Structure 1
């Protein structure tokens, strides 16, 4: 099976611009939703896991609008643009319902879809990110570092954030640093980062959230089986965030990985893949 970048890359024209994605495998659909961050993409989040899951599922790694790969949707917050893009993507490919794996922001997108379009999400695996800070500060250490970079990008600030994402800092190689620094230089990529984490955007979001119910207040509406996975050393989405979703989501399970930071699917690759596959197959409808 060809799971290289070139062998899996696809494009889809929609009424809101081009969506780009990676596709591999056969069988029941599994949609992989990436997180936010500096120089992020779906391929970078899940390229190491695609070969494993494609042996069992028809996998799609969707590139969200506005992160430098799929066309941006002007004037729409990246999280809302991402959720709408998932539905556009599914409609265009004739996917009525799918299991979803979402890293950080991707998990939030998946939860919101499970709340607002429950028939489209059959099972959900969230990798950190979901829920409110209870005992830890908000913004978290990782989010504060993202804010610093969004306001004034520098290579040093990128390195500090990358080390915050991982428990094992040996993963922060020169190759990784150069790759993320190059991607972060893309105007669309940085615009999405600033729209989520820049100082002005953060204050605007805080003001907006004071007037509406947060998404996690509706997590009792999630009907699908849900697996919450977390790295115990996560400094972007501290583990106390899982307490609300694990209590509110009716069919929630939790798995915490030791000696692991925010990028569970990378830092605890084999264990994450094993736990996730067991969950997906065990809870299949």
Structure 2
């Protein structure tokens, strides 16, 4: 496949709430990829290296949430703005129903979309991001380090946070870290991420029981076939969170990547792509060989 670049795949869509930026590549049925949260994140930062593989099979759409990448800034916190933006995005492109794959915050938003708009999601894949921790402390280590960076954004704190996101810190090349540093320290990017991660939100995360009923209720409303994936060594959404999702999502399967942290699509790229494509193409006729 021809090399897919940031500029070559970049698109914008005007919506009632503002301009959404996204990447688009490939033909065939649509597939939506939703990124996670954190300093310097965007759709491209999470999924740019995966785009060529998915684009071989799908019209692959990689959205920047409001407050991230170059989509519009939001008045509320980015988590609250994300789901309405996804609905606006699908409406604006004239897409009724499609599979959705999300990492971390993107997985949480994809799950909410499936629960509240079941007619829009044909299959759901999450990378961390859903469920509730049963045995691990809350807030987890990765979120604590993220808030420390947001409160005092130094290069050393960014590196400490990024190291908590992966099992093998060797993948954190200088180029990778510098890319996130340049984006994370833009004033508007810091302002938006501070709306989501701050000392107040950290305190709220320390009371998981307070949001348990709402979280479980949301999971029970998901009707789409669902593949929940986790890194065994995830220090942001610990693996034990998957047990709740497995129990309450009606048609749920689980895949665990060993020696893997929070960024399975980056750290275990080839295996992640193989697992995700196998699930997305499971019902294809004739069977697809990967």
Q: Give the structure-2-normalised TM-score.
A: 0.93
The separation in 2 between residues aligned to 1:141 and 1:123, in whole angstroms, is 31
Counterpart of 2:221 in structure 1 is 221
Counterpart of 2:288 in structure 1 is none
Quick check: 1:196–1:202 contact (8 Å CA) kept in 2?
no
The separation in 2 between residues aligned to 1:205 and 1:142, in whole angstroms, is 12
Report how many aligned residue pairs link the two structures: 284
The separation in 2 between residues aligned to 1:208 and 1:274, in whole angstroms, is 33
Deviations 1:121-161 (A, max 9, x none): 11010001111111001110000101111111111110011
| CA RMSD across the alignment | 1.9
Counterpart of 2:163 in structure 1 is 163
Question: Does 2:17 align with 1:16?
Answer: yes
Deviations 1:180-232 (A, max 9, x none): 11111122321232122210343467789848943333211100000011111
Change (3 A) 1:92 1:54: same
SS of corresponding position for 1:48: coil
The separation in 2 between residues aligned to 1:188 and 1:202, in whole angstroms, is 21
Counterpart of 1:60 in structure 2 is 61
The separation in 1 between residues aligned to 2:209 and 2:94, in whole angstroms, is 34
Counterpart of 1:187 in structure 2 is 187
Deviations 1:48-102 (A, max 9, x none): 100000000000000000124100121x221221111110000000000110110
The separation in 1 between residues aligned to 2:253 and 2:69, in whole angstroms, is 34
SS of corresponding position for 2:170: helix
For residue 40 of structure 1, report the CA deviation from its aligned partner.
0.5
Change (3 A) 1:197 1:110: same
Change (3 A) 1:211 1:114: closer
SS of corresponding position for 2:119: helix
SS of corresponding position for 2:138: coil
Counterpart of 1:154 in structure 2 is 154
Quick check: 2:67–2:193 contact (8 Å CA) kept in 1?
no
The separation in 1 between residues aligned to 2:17 and 2:191, in whole angstroms, is 18
**How is 1:96-245 mapped onto 2 (pairs within 5 angstroms)?**
96-203=96-203, 210=210, 213-245=213-245
Change (3 A) 1:191 1:212: farther
Unaligned runs of 5+ in 2: 286-290
Counterpart of 2:39 in structure 1 is 38
The separation in 1 between residues aligned to 2:226 and 2:253, in whole angstroms, is 6
The separation in 1 between residues aligned to 2:114 and 2:123, in whole angstroms, is 9
SS of corresponding position for 2:48: helix
Q: Give the structure-1-normalised TM-score.
A: 0.95
SS of corresponding position for 1:219: helix
The separation in 2 between residues aligned to 1:224 and 1:41, in whole angstroms, is 26
The separation in 2 between residues aligned to 1:131 and 1:212, in whole angstroms, is 9
The separation in 2 between residues aligned to 1:36 and 1:165, in whole angstroms, is 12
